Amino acid sequence: MNDFLYLYRGGQSAGTPEQMQNRMQKWMTWMKELGEKGHIKDIGHPLEQSGKVVKAHKAVTDGPFAEAKDLIGGYTLVQAKDLAQAADLTAGCPIFEMGGFVEVRPIRAM
């Protein structure tokens, strides 16, 4: 098995408390299914919208300031046999219902 990082990008998170609770339940159900199949290595966490961008020569700015569709909202570390399977495992991810997407990145063994 190889390690892959899911980066959850974009997606609308606003809504009524009931809608937000429904979305959270869908995330928990999807993650539980991946875990029961042995694919979750680290459940990951949602990320705050604030942060800092650090560049060479100690240049630090507020950020990240990207288009909403490109913001990373969270991550999960998964295991799969290859990139194709890792991509297939995103099926049913609740972010798709919110207009977002999952970036699947292989983690290079060192």
Which pLDDT score is estimated for 46? 85
DSSP for 54-75, written as a single string: EEGGGEEEEE----GGG-EEEE
CATH number of the domain bearing residue 57: 3.30.70.1060
**pLDDT tens digits for 39-82?**
999 988 888 878 887 888 777 776 656 655 568 889 999 999 99
Residue 24: φ, ψ to 5°: -60, -40
Query: Poorest-confidence range of 58-72, 78-92, 95-109?
Result: 58-72
Q: Is 10 strand, coil or helix? A: coil
Rounded-to-integer distance, Cα 108 and Cα 64, Å: 25
**pLDDT tens digits for 10-43?**
887 778 899 989 999 999 999 999 999 999 999 8
* Chain center to CA of 51: 17
Range of the domain at 46: 2-106
pTM of the model: 0.85
Please give the sequence-ordered ranges of beta strands (E in DSSP) within 1-110, or none if there are none: 2-9, 40-42, 51-55, 59-63, 72-80, 101-106
Which pLDDT score is estimated for 65? 60
Distances from the Cα of 31 to the Cαs of 40, 64, 83, 94, in angstroms?
8, 27, 19, 10
Domain count, the chain: 1
Q: Is the pLDDT of residue 7 over 80?
A: yes
